[in-house]
Chains A and B, each alone.
Chain A
Amino acid sequence: MMTGIAQELARIVGDAYFSNQPEEAYFYARDPGLMPPHAPEYVVVPGCVEEIQEIARLANREKIPVVPMGAGLALTGLVIPLRGGIVIDMKRMNRILSVNEGGRHAVVEGGASQGLLRAYLDRRHPRLRHSIPDSPPTATIAANVMIHGQGRLTQQYGFNSDMISGLEVVVASGEICKIGSCALSPDWFSKGAPLPDLTGLFLGWFGATGIITKIGVKLYPKKKMRDVEIFITDREDLVAEMIYELTHTEMVEDINVFAQPKPMIFKDNHHITLFFTGDTDEEIEFKRKMIWHSLDRFIKSKDGGFMGVPPVMKPTLLDMPQRSVSRFADVKKGGGFEYSGPIIMVDKYPDCTRKILELAEKYGLGYSGMARIIGRSHAMMYGFAFTFNRADPDMMERTRKALHEVSAFALEAGGVFWKATVDEQKMAMARMYPATLDLMKMIKKNLDPNGIMNPGNWEVAEL
Chain B
Amino acid sequence: MKYSDIVHRCFRCGYCKFTSDYTDFNCPSYRKFRFETYSPGGRMWLIRGWLNGDIKNSERFQEILFSCATCANCVEHCVFTFSDDLVNIFIAAREELIADGIVPPAVRDYLRNIHVNGNPYKEPAAGRGRWAEGSPVEAYTDQDYLFYVGCVGSYDERARKIALSVGTLLVKAGLSVGILGEKEGCDGNEVRALGESGLFELLARQNIELFRDHDVKKVITLDPHAFNAFKNDYPGLGGKFEVFHYTQVLAPLMEAGRIPLKACALKATYHDPCYLGRHNGEYRAPRSMLRAVPGLELVEMERSGENAFCCGGGGGNFFTDILGGGEESPARLRAREALDTGAEVIAVACPQCAKMLEDAVKSEELEDRIKVMDITEIVTGCLI
Contact of A333 among B9, B14, B21, B22 (CB under 8 A): B9
Q: Does A98 contact B (CB under 8 A)?
A: no
B80 nearest CB neighbor, chain A only:
A330
Q: Does A269 contact B (CB under 8 A)?
A: no
Contact of A23 among B15, B17, B37, B302 (CB under 8 A): B37
Contact of B9 among A122, A323, A334 (CB under 8 A): A334
Known: A21-B58, A137-B22. A43 touches B35 (CB 8 A): yes
Chain B 13-36 interface mask (CB, 8 Å, partner A; 1/0): 111011101111000000001111
Question: Which residues of chain A are near B148, meaning CB under 8 Å?
Answer: none
A139 nearest CB neighbor, chain B only:
B14
A123 near B23 (CB under 8 angstroms)?
A: yes
Question: Which residues of chain A are near B49, meaning CB under 8 Å?
Answer: 26
Known: A26-B49, A30-B45. A323 touches B79 (CB 8 A): yes
Question: Which residues of chain B are near A329, meaning CB under 8 Å?
Answer: 11, 13, 80
* Minimum Cβ distance to chain A for residue B150 (Å): 33
Question: Which residues of chain B are near A119, meaning CB under 8 Å?
Answer: 19, 21-24
A69 nearest CB neighbor, chain B only:
B36
* Minimum Cβ distance to chain A for residue B21 (Å): 5
Known: A330-B9, A330-B81. A89 touches B14 (CB 8 A): no
Q: Does B110 contact A (CB under 8 A)?
A: no
A45 near B34 (CB under 8 angstroms)?
A: yes
A89 near B36 (CB under 8 angstroms)?
A: yes
A27 near B37 (CB under 8 angstroms)?
A: yes
**A73–B17 CA distance with the chains assembled, in angstroms:** 15
Q: How many residues of B contact A (CB 8 A)?
A: 37
* Minimum Cβ distance to chain B for residue A435 (Å): 41
Question: Which residues of chain B are near A92, meaning CB under 8 Å?
Answer: 34
A137 near B8 (CB under 8 angstroms)?
A: no
Q: Does A418 contact B (CB under 8 A)?
A: no
Q: Please, could you name 29 A-B residue pairs with CB atoms under 8 Å apart, sorted by A?
A: A23-B61, A26-B45, A27-B35, A27-B37, A27-B42, A27-B45, A27-B46, A45-B34, A73-B14, A115-B22, A116-B22, A119-B22, A122-B21, A123-B23, A136-B14, A137-B15, A138-B15, A138-B17, A138-B18, A323-B15, A326-B13, A326-B79, A326-B80, A327-B79, A327-B80, A330-B80, A335-B8, A389-B8, A390-B8
Question: Which residues of chain A are near B22, meaning CB under 8 Å?
Answer: 113-116, 118-119, 137
Known: A72-B12, A323-B79. 6 other contacts (CB 8 A): A22-B58, A23-B58, A26-B49, A32-B13, A138-B13, A330-B9
Chain A 32-46 interface mask (CB, 8 Å, partner B; 1/0): 100000000001010
Q: Does A128 contact B (CB under 8 A)?
A: no
B interface with A by C-beta (< 8 Å): 8-15, 17-19, 21-24, 33-37, 42, 45-46, 49, 54-56, 58, 60-61, 64, 79-82, 302, 326
Known: A22-B60, A27-B46, A116-B22. A326 touches B11 (CB 8 A): yes
**A391–B79 CA distance with the chains assembled, in angstroms:** 20
Question: Which residues of chain A are near B15, meaning CB under 8 Å?
Answer: 136-138, 323, 326
A16 near B46 (CB under 8 angstroms)?
A: no
A334 near B45 (CB under 8 angstroms)?
A: no
Where chain B touches its partner, the secondary structure class is loop
Question: Which residues of chain B are near A138, meaning CB under 8 Å?
Answer: 13-15, 17-18
- A310-348 with Cβ < 8 A to chain B: 323, 326-327, 329-330, 333-337
Known: A326-B11, A326-B13, A335-B9. A24 touches B35 (CB 8 A): yes
Q: Does A219 contact B (CB under 8 A)?
A: no
B8 near A391 (CB under 8 angstroms)?
A: yes
Contact of B326 among A16, A116, A389 (CB under 8 A): A16
Q: Does A71 contact B (CB under 8 A)?
A: yes
Contact of B8 among A71, A73, A89, A334 (CB under 8 A): A334
Question: Which residues of chain A are near B21, meaning CB under 8 Å?
Answer: 119, 122
Q: Does A17 contact B (CB under 8 A)?
A: yes
Question: Which residues of chain B are near A113, meaning CB under 8 Å?
Answer: 22
**A30–B56 CA distance with the chains assembled, in angstroms:** 17
**A22–B64 CA distance with the chains assembled, in angstroms:** 12
B55 near A26 (CB under 8 angstroms)?
A: yes
B11 near A330 (CB under 8 angstroms)?
A: yes
Contact of A89 among B34, B60, B81 (CB under 8 A): B34
B55 near A23 (CB under 8 angstroms)?
A: yes
**A113–B56 CA distance with the chains assembled, in angstroms:** 32
Question: Which residues of chain B are near A382, meaning CB under 8 Å?
Answer: none
**A330–B60 CA distance with the chains assembled, in angstroms:** 29
**A24–B64 CA distance with the chains assembled, in angstroms:** 11
Question: Which residues of chain B are near A384, meaning CB under 8 Å?
Answer: none
A322 nearest CB neighbor, chain B only:
B79
**A16–B38 CA distance with the chains assembled, in angstroms:** 13
The interface centre, meaning the residue of A27, A30, A118, A391 with most chain B CB atoms within 10 A of its CB, is A27
Q: Does A270 contact B (CB under 8 A)?
A: no
